[in-house]
């Protein structure tokens, strides 16, 4: 049986003047450091994005506290809270 690895999430927050927060980062396999193409980043029902070919993503979030989930098939999902 395959061992399920956890995701490593690198997050860089920046701000815009429109009361929005831009969440940017890269999703990598914790053990190998390989980019995970198509990992999903979701912050609300039907609101989210997927990583590109290099594992990068960028998503605009409303200002305030948000819970973000990162998931990928065969990996344990990660939930993080952020507020700005």
Give residue-wise pLDDT tens across range 26-80: 999 988 999 999 999 998 787 899 999 999 999 888 777 788 899 999 999 999 8
- pLDDT at position 56 is 95
d(Cα 13, Cα 23) in Å, to the nearest integer?
5
Q: Is the dihedral of CA 31, 58, 67, 65 positive or negative?
A: positive
Complete domains list, the chain, with CATH: 7-74 (2.60.40)
- pLDDT at position 13 is 42
Local confidence band at 19 (pLDDT 50, 70, 90 cut-offs) = low
- pLDDT at position 20 is 73
- pLDDT at position 65 is 78
The distance of Cα 53 from the centroid of its chain, to the nearest Å, equals 14
Contacts of 80 (CB under 8 A, 6+ apart): 9, 11, 67, 68, 69, 70
Local confidence band at 12 (pLDDT 50, 70, 90 cut-offs) = very low
pTM, 2 dp:
0.72
């Amino acid at each position: 049986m395959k061992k399920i690895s956890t995701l490593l999430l690198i997050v860089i927050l920046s701000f815009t003047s429109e009361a929005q927060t831009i969440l940017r980062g890269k999703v990598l396999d914790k053990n190998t450091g390989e980019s995970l193409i198509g990992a999903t980043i979701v912050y609300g029902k039907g609101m989210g994005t997927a990583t590109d070919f290099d594992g990068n993503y960028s998503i605009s979030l409303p200002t305030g506290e948000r819970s973000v989930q990162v998931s990928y098939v065969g990996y344990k999902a990660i939930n993080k809270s952020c507020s700005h």
